[in-house]
């Protein structure tokens, strides 16, 4: 570690250290604000006045006392509420009486698509759109990022060619063809592993339902037979959103064989959706 090595040459005591970059249970943003690096924006992110918020915070824990910097005390968001207005699910709630940013994490797309292990609540599925892993809208609309954010030269942040923007249908077909072991191998050394196979496939099904194309029906019908109830239930919802004759026929057939009560309820709810004439013509 370059910083630890540098510190070792500038303190008299022997020094031990441990680095964290989004890898341990530490509130890095609070420590960064206390170290003078920026303020908490209304999007709950730490915003640096010269760099925006699109970065990872690195942390080095050391076993010696060092001089401290002054905390960053200003709130430079001012009257801007772009992030609050742009959040598709209304997860951002402004600031409390002390000025701290408020968020309902249960509504956040990043939480729902990565950390949440159960069904995505119905009220948020359409708002998710085609976001299958996380959401950065609140950062994308931030004026500080529009002004200062840029591409990183760090090799570790470069896009992996095999994971660079696959078509949703192709990604779904790949995920349906592998088990959890294959998923871990496919996304080795990638944060996407946090969602697990069933979670990522759940998200892809929702995105395909929001796409609404008949091209997704064959893949979603295949997902109706997946080993995971979580996947089957969201495939059923997606087919209900598409609503074509082929989609509804598959749902009706699946209803006669499905044994999981939760999935059965999702199938029944999907069949209750009244398809539009355009959906029926696109069967």
Hey, which residues are catalytic here? 22
CB of 199 closer than 8 Å to CB of 114: yes
Q: Are strands 101-103 and 92-95 parallel, antiparallel or unpaired?
A: antiparallel
Asked if 66 and 6 touch (Cβ cutoff 8 Å), the reply is no
Rounded CA-CA distance 153/167 in Å is 27
Cα separation, 207 vs 134, in Å, equals 13
Spacing of C-alpha 71 from chain mean position: 30
CA quadruple 27, 32, 33, 39: dihedral positive or negative?
negative
Distances (CA, A) of 176 to 198, 221, 224, 273, 278: 10, 11, 10, 26, 29
- Within 72-228, strands assigned E span 92-95, 101-103
């Amino acid at each position: 570690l370059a910083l630890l090595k540098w510190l070792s040459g500038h303190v008299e005591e022997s020094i031990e250290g441990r680095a964290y970059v989004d890898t341990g249970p530490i509130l890095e943003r609070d420590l960064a604000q206390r170290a003078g690096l920026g303020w908490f924006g209304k999007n709950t992110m730490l915003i640096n006045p010269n760099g925006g918020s699109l970065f990872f915070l690195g942390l080095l824990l050391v076993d010696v006392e060092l001089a401290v910097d002054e905390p960053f005390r200003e709130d430079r968001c001012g009257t801007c509420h772009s992030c609050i207005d742009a959040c598709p699910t209304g997860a951002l709630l402004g600031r409390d009486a002390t000025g701290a940013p408020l968020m309902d994490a249960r509504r956040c797309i990043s939480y729902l698509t990565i950390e949440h292990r159960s069904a995505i609540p119905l009220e948020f599925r359409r708002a998710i759109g085609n976001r299958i892993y996380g959401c950065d809208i609140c950062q994308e609309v931030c004026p500080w990022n529009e002004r200062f954010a840029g591409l990183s030269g760090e090799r570790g942040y470069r896009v992996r060619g095999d994971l660079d923007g696959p078509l949703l249908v192709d990604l779904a077909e790949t995920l349906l063809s592998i088990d959890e072991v294959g998923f871990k191998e496919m996304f080795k050394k990638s944060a996407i592993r946090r969602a697990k196979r069933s979670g990522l496939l759940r998200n892809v099904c929702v995105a395909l339902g929001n796409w609404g194309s008949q091209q997704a029906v064959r893949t979603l019908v295949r997902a109706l037979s997946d080993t995971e109830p979580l996947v089957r239930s969201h495939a059923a919802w997606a087919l209900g959103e598409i609503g074509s004759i082929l989609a509804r026929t598959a749902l009706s057939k699946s209803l006669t064989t499905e044994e999981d009560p939760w999935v059965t309820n999702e199938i029944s709810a999907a069949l209750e959706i009244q398809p539009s004439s355009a959906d029926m013509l696109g069967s």
